Amino acid sequence: MSIKIWIDGEFYDKEHAKVSVFDHGLLYGDGVFEGIRAYHGKVFRLRQHVERLYASAKAIWLQVPIPQDEMSRRIEETVKANNLTEAYIRVLVTRGVGDLGLDPRKCPKASIVIIADKIQLYPPEFYKKGLEVVTAATPISHRENLNPRIKSLNYLGHILAKIEGIQAGVHEVVMLDPAGYVAECSGDNIFVVNPPDLKSGGKPVIRTPHANAGILKGVTRDAVIELALKAGYDLREELFTRYDLYTADEMFLTGTGAEIIAVVKVDGRVIGTGQPGPVTNELLQGFRELTKTGG
């Protein structure tokens, strides 16, 4: 059975779901999106995703044509229409149909697309043995150019970084900010685990780049931060460099598509024991329990 895609108030079969070639989302990447997961028939952290979608739209001066509560209902309806209990949901808000010029005022109404399907970002075996990653030469956008907090349709910089990873034979890459600090991966947020110090109360220290440093503030990232704090870990959001990746005891990535996955080698340097570590595994188990309730 063909999947049903919601476009501007109507469901269409996948084969007949279309947007205009004059849509500025297609012509210029002018729009925003969200990737969301459903687990056990419950959409995971729907409110947080919808709030981030509307914040991204506001940041690019884009008026979403329906209120947030209706958007949430439409997302749930799309999952239900496709008879999915485990799903990956993609919500797009484009500038809509305009002319061939740049002026967004020529697009009288934004367009909404909601897709509910399945996703497998990494091969299953890598969740047991961990990923190898390399640093990409392509940096993330400067936050005063296209702020990475905006989840826009223009992902070309991340795609170029992803291509570097493909050419290096790995599944993911580390992207740096213009100052050379670790930012994020092409599709995931980054965490490292360090030994306890005098301030951590005997627990390992978990570090992740600060949200204000120019990264996407991931919904899964926030969930993992909450789980780490609840478990008593010293969680620090701060700036760090590749040196801190190379010398970490553990490293893991988080994202809606990736969930939580360990990294065991960065730029040829083995991380920790070269296997997913105990902190990563503990947080992964906690995250799986959290998904059973919808977050």
Residues belonging to the active site: 151
Residue in 271, 269, 266, 270 with CA at minimum distance from that of residue 135:
266
Q: Report the alpha-carbon distance of residue 190 to residue 207 in Å, rounded.
A: 9
The CA-to-CA distance between both ends of the chain, in Å, stands at 30
**Whether the Cβ atoms of residue 230 and residue 56 lie closer than 8 Å to each other:** no
Q: Report the alpha-carbon distance of residue 260 to residue 270 in Å, rounded.
A: 19
Q: Report the alpha-carbon distance of residue 44 to residue 36 in Å, rounded.
A: 7
Q: Strand, helix or coil at 6?
A: strand
Q: Report the alpha-carbon distance of residue 8 to residue 2 in Å, rounded.
A: 19
